[in-house]
Structure 1
Amino acid sequence: MPQPPGPDPRPLTGEPLALDLLNTRWIDGGGPHDLLDSVAGLAVWLDSAPVRTHLGLPDGVPAADRTTLDRLLYARAALDALAAPAARRDPAILDGATQLNEVLSHGRVRRELGPDGLPASVVETDAPSWGPAWYAAESWLSLVADRPDRIRPCANEACVLHFYDVSKNGTRRWCSMAGCGNRAKAKRHHARRSGI
């Protein structure tokens, strides 16, 4: 019987799927980390609560294999190229948009009438291995269509995490107040006390 994946080590989870994928890379006291540097890391990501909730694939979560990982890394590279311009409210970078559109070309939403007589949307991808990448790309489209100005990088220059600001006033600056926010407060406090 295969071993279940280990716990998700990332410092920020629970963001919309596109940003959750971007946040598979982070920096902490131990240096840079990349959850998707292996198929085992992919298994952890696929098993994480935000991903399982968002994917909702009829066939379940796709296999953690090299093909799925490569396609997901391609989508992450596209999102990475798009995230910085979105945060600055600049137009999308052509390469990022081209890559994201390539990912999106491997799936579609088909509308149908469900067995309960209500309209339903069914996602179809060329192969199950495209599912996670396609859903992440689709998530990006939803964020950009809704509130692109709420897609933000953490204000800590040493942090590479992103978040979707759902605060009422839209003033969130940190990936987490417990991490980067507290470090910034402590740094300001130290500077005031030291007279810097």
Structure 2
Amino acid sequence: MADPRDPRPLIGEPLALDLLNTRWRAAATRDLLDDLDGYRIWLSSAGLADRCPADQASLDAVRTARSALDGLLLAAEEQRTADPAALNAVLAHGRIGRILTADGPAELPETDGPHWLAAWLAADDYLSLLAQGAHRIKRCAHPDCILHFFDTSQNGRRRWCSMALCGNRSKAARHYERATRA
């Protein structure tokens, strides 16, 4: 459940994309991860507040993961070969441990330190999204929008982060353009 203090226009995407969407454009580009207060809001919205520390080291690790993800998605958008080294460096800080619980086998993320947990979980989530289909990871088609989403539509043709926001703005702009030409 999203934190009511979260000001972002798109919340609730898979963790890797939700981390990317901590940067968005309103009148100007905004960044939820500018400070620890914003980082705490993101942790809360992502459901990680009780699992991850909200300190400067953790914020720095999450920014590192976001930068790595941003670089990979930019390379994909530009149709060039991506360098996975930055994301692999984040992933090197953790692994999945297997344990046996009273309920049966379970997987437990283990990281070099608690400050890497949120960053590692986001990087690991990106690998899961790739396994489901890299073509479903998309950037909003509106030219002024920098948000990303995972297209779960049956035909894979979703174009907008939100039909109510960017889709409507694009339709209104096309309508205005047609009306002024007539």
Q: Deviations over 1:95-122 (max 9, x none)?
A: xx11111111111101122222x21111
Q: Which runs of 4+ in 1 moved over 6 A?
A: none
Query: 1:178 matched to which residue of 2?
Result: 164
2:97 aligned partner, one-letter code: R
**Is residue 163 of structure 1 aligned with residue 163 of structure 2?**
no
Q: Deviations over 1:45-69 (max 9, x none)?
A: 0111xx11xx5x9xx3322111000
Query: 1:39 matched to which residue of 2?
Result: 36
Aligned equivalents of 2:85, 2:134: Cα separation in 1: 18
Q: RMSD across aligned C-alpha pairs, in angstroms?
A: 1.7
Aligned equivalents of 1:168, 1:177: Cα separation in 2: 16
Give how far 1:90 is off: 4.8
Superposed counterparts of 1:147-158, under 5 Å = 147-158=133-144
Query: 1:104 matched to which residue of 2?
Result: 91
- In 2 relative to 1, CA 131–66 (structure 1 residues): closer, same or farther, beyond 3 Å? same
> Is the Cα–Cα contact under 8 Å of residues 75 and 100 in structure 1 kept in the other structure?
yes
Aligned equivalents of 2:13, 2:127: Cα separation in 1: 15
Superposed counterparts of 1:1-196, under 5 Å = 7-28=5-26, 30-48=27-45, 51-52=46-47, 55=48, 60-87=50-77, 90-91=80-81, 93-94=82-83, 97-116=84-103, 118-195=104-181
2:17 aligned partner, one-letter code: L
Give how far 1:87 is off: 4.3
1:80 aligned partner, one-letter code: D
Task: Structure 2 unaligned segments of length 5 or more: list them.
Answer: none
1:62 aligned partner, one-letter code: C
Aligned equivalents of 1:133, 1:191: Cα separation in 2: 43
Give how far 1:82 is off: 0.6
2:156 aligned partner, one-letter code: G
Aligned equivalents of 1:20, 1:150: Cα separation in 2: 15
> Is the Cα–Cα contact under 8 Å of residues 106 and 134 in structure 1 kept in the other structure?
yes
Q: Deviations over 1:114-154 (max 9, x none)?
A: 222x2111111111110000000000000111110000000
> Is the Cα–Cα contact under 8 Å of residues 87 and 151 in structure 1 kept in the other structure?
no
Aligned equivalents of 2:128, 2:15: Cα separation in 1: 10
TM-score, structure 1 length as denominator? 0.87
Give how far 1:84 is off: 2.4
Give % identity. Answer: 51
Aligned equivalents of 2:177, 2:16: Cα separation in 1: 36
TM-score, structure 2 length as denominator? 0.93
